[in-house]
Amino acid sequence: MGDPLTSGQKPLRIGLVGAGQISAAYLDTLPRLDGLELTAVADLDPERARATASTVPGARALTLSELYAADEVDLVLNLTVPAAHAEVAHSAIAAGKHVYGEKPLAATAAEGRELLAAAERAGVRVGCAPDTVLGTGVQTARASLDAGEIGTPVAATAFMTTPGHERWHPAPEFYYRPGGGPLLDMGPYYLTALVTLLGPVRRVTGLSSTARATRTVGSGPRAGTEFPVEVATHVTGVLEHAGGALSTLVMSFEVWAAQLPRIEVYGTGGSLSVPDPNGFDGRVRLFRAGEEGWRDLPVSGGYQDASRGYGVADLAGALAGGTAHRASGELALHVLEVMEALLASGETGRAVETTTDCARPAAVPLGARPGES
């Protein structure tokens, strides 16, 4: 059996829009979650929609308009390309459906604000990836922080460094066009983790650079093809959290090798090493003042054996219980604005204050079922 939600609760019926590569991860997870039922699939390629629907008992392949109008769809799972996120979400909201989408929430923070305002008017919920922060990795670190094991958090670091995706991706151009780059591609994982651990961000100072005007496809049938770089490929900055902690961030497609941690949090009484926020689990390590060396912490928080789709289950359980869901549209909007602020600060050389706010998501207790507080 999967992870049941509230006993006797009707499953949340899901219509999937966008049957591309990322959909496979959700299709693997959803059958394990008893509170969810995939009932419909739509894609711009009707044959791909039919092929995907055929793998799920009871699911139908529909057109987009049919899926939005379908009585057997309560929530639209929006797995389209980022440029289409807002359009699909607005269509779903207009039809009275809840929405859960892949990151980012929208192409811009302005679009994200309009989306959440439309959802509020319609009385529906919006959720958004990443839900990796609901797993045992980040949540064990969260439990340690909440228990005061490193004292008061003072600062944090977050590093994502790679030479660039063109080495392995056969069509990498979109990573180097507006809406791409290391910050918008990978930043949501790191920033969502930082907000989960330390709370929302009040002010941002950033700098950015683009070292090379072109890149070259490194694999596949187009290997050797040169293409232009249109975005910042190295972004660094400092985030001032509402609680006073300062996070230093580096997101780069310009680093060939590094020995940097993924995320570390530094407090008045110790330090905490947090695993890769692009995954659901991983080793959490603690150093406490007065102790000898680092030690591994036992798993003490988070949904166990989680994978992509647990954010949808968390939303379903929260709906049933009348509580706030954790991978929320408000959190995703705040992260999107922080990323925009970092890039804007890099262009102007001035600090940028954020205008959005979000509650620090509730911690996930170890052993909890999706949606439990």
pLDDT tens for 81-93 read 888 999 999 999 9
Write down the pLDDT at residue 178. Answer: 86
Q: What are phi and psi of 87, to 5 degrees?
A: -60, -45
359 lies in some domain: no
Write down the pLDDT at residue 34. Answer: 81
Domain boundary among 109, 128, 147: 128
Say which DSSP state 351 is in: -
Domain boundary among 128, 154, 182: 128
221 lies in some domain: yes
Write down the pLDDT at residue 372. Answer: 64
Confidence of residue 373 (pLDDT cuts 50, 70, 90): low
Contact criterion met (CB below 8 Å) for 127 and 154: no
Cβ neighbours for 183, distance < 8 A, ≥ 6 positions apart: 208, 232, 235, 251, 339, 342, 343
> pLDDT tens, 304-336?
999 999 999 999 999 999 999 999 999 999 999
Q: Does residue 196 sit in the same domain as residue 248?
A: yes
> pLDDT tens, 221-250?
999 999 999 999 999 999 999 999 999 999
220 lies in some domain: yes
Place of tokens 């219509």: 15
> pLDDT tens, 2-13?
333 434 568 999
3-state secondary structure of 154: strand
Q: Kindly tell me if the per-residue pLDDT of 106 is higher than 50.
A: yes
367 lies in some domain: no
Q: Does residue 188 sit in the same domain as residue 162?
A: yes
- Domain of 113, in residue numbers: 12-128
5 lies in some domain: no
Q: Does residue 216 sit in the same domain as residue 349?
A: yes
143 lies in some domain: yes
Q: Does residue 74 sit in the same domain as residue 223?
A: no
Q: Does residue 238 sit in the same domain as residue 111?
A: no
> pLDDT tens, 173-222?
989 998 889 999 999 999 999 999 999 999 999 999 999 999 999 999 99
CATH number of 70's domain: 3.40.50.720
Contact criterion met (CB below 8 Å) for 174 and 212: no
Q: Does residue 111 sit in the same domain as residue 147?
A: no
CA distances from 35 to 6, 76, 92, 136, 323 (A): 8, 15, 21, 21, 16
Among positive and negative, which fits the CA dihedral 40, 46, 49, 54?
positive
90 lies in some domain: yes
Mean pLDDT of the chain: 95
Q: Does residue 165 sit in the same domain as residue 113?
A: no
Q: Does residue 93 sit in the same domain as residue 240?
A: no
> pLDDT tens, 269-291?
999 999 999 999 999 999 999 99
> pLDDT tens, 16-44?
999 998 999 999 999 999 889 999 999 99
Contact criterion met (CB below 8 Å) for 140 and 301: yes
Q: Does residue 173 sit in the same domain as residue 109?
A: no
Q: Please provide the size of the chain in residues.
A: 373
Q: Does residue 210 sit in the same domain as residue 342?
A: yes
Domain boundary among 128, 150, 182: 128
Nearest partner of 50 among 82, 19, 10, judged by Cα: 19
Q: Does residue 45 sit in the same domain as residue 117?
A: yes
Number of domains into which the chain is organized? 2
Q: What angle do CA 71, 86, 319 make, to 5 degrees?
A: 50
Q: Does residue 267 sit in the same domain as residue 121?
A: no
Q: Which of 90-99, 123-132, 167-176 has the lowest mean pLDDT?
A: 167-176
Nearest partner of 12 among 362, 367, 325, judged by Cα: 325
CA distances from 247 to 46, 90, 240 (A): 45, 34, 7
1 lies in some domain: no
3-state secondary structure of 52: helix
CA distance 301 to 49: 37
CATH number of 233's domain: 3.30.360.10
Write down the pLDDT at residue 10. Answer: 86
- The helix (H) or strand (E) run that includes residue 208 is strand 201-209
